[in-house]
Structure 1
Amino acid sequence: MEKTWFLYLTAVSLAHCFLACLAMNGSNSTTDQSALLAFKSYITFDHPHHILATNWSSATSVCHWIGVFCSKRHYRVVALNLPNMGIGGTIPPHIGNLSFLSYFNITSNTFHGHLPSELA
């Protein structure tokens, strides 16, 4: 009887931890998506049918967006690689919400203004 009770409590604990981890990853993914969609809203495109205008959509995971790279372990955005994309605009403070971002390349585009302090 004690062994059955122990197994039951272990299974319940593992299920609780699993669900908590899923909820945590979902909110982190949502945070990354919100930050990138805010970044997109500050971008000006060189033509209306630019690839990022249609590819960066809430219909797909940010990890499948062009120029976005996620960690394999946590599925968090770790890199934005957008050189020579024909994009411009300003960089909003929301980009600082990408807490795992370690590489940010927007060279050879037409961004202007200051880098937000949230990137530090």
Structure 2
Amino acid sequence: MERSLSILQLIALFLLPYLFSHNLANTTTDLKTDESSLLAFKSHITNDSSHTTLGKNWTTKTSVCNWIGVTCGSRNYRVIALNISYMFLEGTIPPHIGNLSFLVSLDITGNRFHGDLPEELAHLRRLRVLNFVLIK
């Protein structure tokens, strides 16, 4: 008995592998955007008194999702939370933080950041929690 493939089966056969590879490529690209944003943030740290926090851990040798203080979503593998509270960091917060488009929570409490909060924070439409009690 001869079997023929339906149109839907043909579409699934050829389209699904493309969609899966395209989605994986987008996730990798988007995570690189998050990585670049966090590395820009790190570059604005003028003093990391713990010397182990960002300097040694936030590198391109490991996935951004494994960095100290960074939480990625389980569905989209994008940065959804940044908690660098009480790391006694000094510096400024760069506008690049506004590129973390999936960021829901940002906690920078207990650090010595100076300058204005970047207006790019207003572009983070998913941001729900912002803690920034700073120490003198």
In 1, Cα distance between equivalents of 2:104 and 2:22: 26
Distance 2:95 2:7 in 1: 51
Consecutive unaligned residues of structure 1, counting only runs of 5 or more, are none
Equivalent position of 2:9 in the other structure: 7
Give the Cα–Cα distance (whole angstroms) in 2 for the partners of residues 11 and 80 of structure 1.
40
In the alignment, does 2:93 pair up with 1:96? Answer: no
**Which runs of no fewer than 5 residues in structure 2 stay unpaired?**
123-136
The correspondence for 2:69, drawn from 67, 70, 73, is: 67
TM-score relative to the length of structure 1: 0.92
What is the deviation of 1:12? 1.1
TM-score relative to the length of structure 2: 0.81
Number of residue pairs matched? 120
More helix by share: 1
Letter of the 2:23 partner, please give it: C
The alpha carbon displacement at 1:5 in A equals: 6.9
Equivalent position SS for 2:41: helix
Among candidates 86, 89, 92, match of residue 87 of structure 1 = 89
Supply the distance in 2 between the matched residues of 1:4 and 1:37 (Cα, whole angstroms).
Answer: 49
Provide the secondary structure at the position in 1 that maps to 2:5. Answer: helix
SS in 1 for 2:51: coil
- The residue that corresponds to 2:31 in the other structure is 29
TM-aligned CA deviation for residue 51 of structure 1:
2.3
Distance in 2 (CA, whole Å) between partners of 1:6 and 1:70 is: 35
Q: Distance in 1 between matches of 2:96 and 2:14?
A: 38
CA contact (8 A) 2:80 2:102 kept: yes
Deviates most, 21-30 or 49-58: 49-58
1:38 corresponds to = 40
Q: Distance in 1 between matches of 2:112 and 2:36?
A: 23
Kindly, what percent of the aligned residue pairs are identical? 51
Q: Which residue of 1 aligns with 2:131?
A: none
Partners of 2:84 and 2:49 lie apart in 1 by 16
Change (3 A) 1:50 1:44: farther
Q: Higher relative contact order at CA 8 Å, sep ≥6: structure 1 or structure 2? A: 1
1:8 & 1:46 partners in 2: Cα distance?
A: 56
